[in-house]
Amino acid sequence: MSEENRLRDDITRFAKSLFDRGLTPGNSGNISARLSDGTLLVTPTGSSMGFLDPAHISHMAADMTHLGGDKPTKEVPLHSAFYDTRQTTGAVVHLHSTHAVALSMLPETAADNALPPLTPYGIMRLGKVQLLPFFLPGDPAMGQAVRGLAGKRSAVLLANHGPVVAGKDLEAAVFAMEELEETAKLALLTRGMNIRSLTQIQVHAVVDRFDVDWD
């Protein structure tokens, strides 16, 4: 099997797993992944993550010129911003997962670090998650906002919309996205409780041990 066909199958498989577990409902969410030649595979606009056809996944040039397949998601500028500003990016996942969206709507959620330090894995897989303002779906300004971070964040939370995570490859991006949603869920479940979050000493021990970008 060619690299491209294998990646098409992987995107379809991971997308269905996310859909089946209720992490992105209806025809929401999108995924992109980079091939070794620099071109990208991107889920089509209006498609459901649970019912993708590998043959219809969009094929895009590095400059986001449409090469083949169905028309890509309208969130292409959001994806391209991560590829352009973080050279290690091999895949980008954007969902409308319930707990992450809920967290984005709370006024006390910190813009510069939306996820509280509850577990080491949230820190290890995501670093700091930037909360971005509300944008209309498909607005190129979302991509501009990501570019404004200058590659310092691998994950952002779009207010009233959903999370976006970049990873070194498809598996890493999906696993980090799942960690983001679970940490948001923990934050909501324990809201108002007298919990023990990780201390700053513990946070920095994780950052140092696992070489996390925490600037």
Supply the residues annotated as catalytic: 75, 121
End-to-end CA, the chain: 41
Q: How far apart are CA 48 and CA 213, in angstroms?
A: 33
Phi, psi of 164 (to 5 degrees): -135, 130
Asked if 78 and 139 count as a contact pair (C-beta separation under 8 A), the reply is no
- The total of other beta-carbon atoms located within 10 Å of residue 66's CB is 14
* Closest listed residue to residue 176, CA positions, set 159, 157, 191, 193: 157
Q: Do 123 and 206 form a contact (C-beta atoms < 8 A)?
A: yes
Q: Any idea what DSSP says for residue 55?
A: G
Core vs surface per residue 135-162: b (16+ CB within 10 A) or e: beeeeeebbebbeebebebbbbbbbebb
Q: Would you give the DSSP letter of residue 133? A: -
DSSP state letter for 43: P
Comparing CA positions, the residue from 48, 184, 155, 6 lying closest to residue 93 is 155
